[in-house]
Amino acid sequence: MTDQERSRASMKTVDRPRSDRVARLSVSLPRHTLVQLKIHAAQRETTIRDFVTALVTREMATTGADT
């Protein structure tokens, strides 16, 4: 699969209850960065989604942004 095809591919996720307040965001990352992110999340027994959400939430709280 090429990087261009990868950016168009959709990934299935575990069934989680969805709220009307939840929106989806897609981010393109260099392949090496994505691999490292997957390893990092697995080592901490978390998901990439939960890890990134925590990072963004913490950064927003640090800068005083309304989350």
- Compute φ and ψ for 8, nearest 5 degrees: -90, -20
- Give the predicted TM-score (pTM) of the model: 0.60
Counting the structural domains of the chain, the total is 1
Q: Are 7 and 28 in contact (CB under 8 A)?
A: yes
Indicate whether 10 belongs to any domain: no
Q: Are 1 and 9 in contact (CB under 8 A)?
A: yes
Per-residue pLDDT of the chain (67 residues; tens, 9 = 90+): 555 555 554 545 555 566 677 788 899 999 999 999 999 999 999 999 999 999 999 999 998 877 5
* DSSP assignments along 1-66, one per residue: --HHHHHH-----------TT---------HHHHHHHHHHHHHTT--HHHHHHHHHHHHHHHHT--
Indicate whether 6 belongs to any domain: no
- Domain range holding 37? 29-67
